[in-house]
Copies of this chain bind each other. A is one copy, B any other.
Amino acid sequence: MYVTLPVKAFESEITYQPNTLNDLANVNSQEMNFEPEESLFFEGDDADYIYEVVEGVVRSSKVLMDGRRQVLNFCYPGEMIGISHDRRYHCDCDAVSRVKVRLYRRNTSHGDVAKDPEFYARLLKNAAAEVNSMQEHFLMLGRKTAMEKLASFLVAVMNRQEHRRGQPIELELPMKRSDIADFLGMTIETVSRNLTKLRKLKVIELPNTHTVRICRAEELRSLAENAD
C-alpha cells in the first residue's frame, strides 16, 4: 500500500481523534524510526510525505556536485519538514541522532492532508515560521564573523530548549562538528578553534564533545551580534 517512498516499514499506525486540542482532525498518520545518519529522503525524490519530528534531531542539507555541503536546518521535535510546492523534495534529509518521526501523506483518496483546513493552517504557520528562522540564518551566513556565527548557533539551540532560570545551561549537540561547520558556512577547524576560544573566555565549558555548558549566557548573546 505504501510502496512509493519510505522503503522502511512503518512501525506504527495512529489515527487521530477529531477535535482534540493540538491534534489534527481526521488525518491518518504513521510513525517511523531512524538510526543516526539514516536518510529520510533525498533531493529530487517524490515529496509524498510531510514529516514531523517527534524525537531526536533531523538535518536537512544541500550539496554541490563537487561535494561542498550546506546544512539548511536542524529540525527538533514539533517541527515539520518536507513541504514542497512542486511535489519534489529540494533537499536531503537525514537523522542526526536516533529519531522518531510522524508521517503525513501528501495526497490520498481518503484522509487527504491537503483538504484538511486545520492541517493546512498548521502547515502555513510552520512554513512562515521556517521562512522567518531562515531569514535569521541568512543574516548569519552572509554577514557575521566566525565567532558571531558560532555564538548565534549556540544561542539558537539554547533558546530552542527549555531550561530553568539561574541554572548553568547544558546543551546537547547531537550533531558532528562537520554538521555545525556546514550549517554555519565555515570549516570544522574554525568551529573547533572558536569553541576553544569560548572555553578560554570562560563563556562555555565542554564536558564532552557533544555537550556545551553555557556559563555566561549574556556574554554569549552579546558575542552573537558583535564579535568584539
Q: What is A's interface to B at a CB cutoff of 8 Å?
A: 62, 64-66, 68-70, 72, 83-86, 90-91, 114, 117, 120-121, 123-132, 134-139, 141-144, 182, 184-185, 225-226
Given contacts A64-B143, A135-B90, A142-B141, contact A128 B185 (CB under 8 A): no
Is the beta-carbon distance between A128 and B85 smaller than 8 angstroms? yes
Measured CB to CB, the closest approach of chain B to A180, in angstroms, equals 12
In Å, the complex CA distance between A84 and B130 comes to: 10
In Å, the complex CA distance between A121 and B114 comes to: 9
Q: Which of B64, B127, B135 contacts A128 (CB 8 A)?
A: B127
Quick one: copies of this chain in the complex? 2
The residues of B that contact A139 with a CB separation of less than 8 Å are 62, 64, 70
The residues of B that contact A127 with a CB separation of less than 8 Å are 124, 127-128, 131
The residues of B that contact A66 with a CB separation of less than 8 Å are 225-226
Is the beta-carbon distance between A65 and B225 smaller than 8 angstroms? yes
Is the beta-carbon distance between A135 and B85 smaller than 8 angstroms? no
The residues of B that contact A226 with a CB separation of less than 8 Å are 65-66
30 interchain pairs, CB-CB under 8 A:
A62-B138, A64-B144, A64-B225, A66-B225, A66-B226, A68-B144, A69-B143, A70-B139, A83-B131, A84-B128, A84-B132, A85-B126, A85-B128, A90-B132, A91-B135, A117-B117, A117-B120, A120-B120, A120-B121, A123-B124, A124-B124, A127-B128, A131-B131, A131-B134, A134-B134, A138-B138, A138-B141, A141-B141, A141-B142, A142-B185
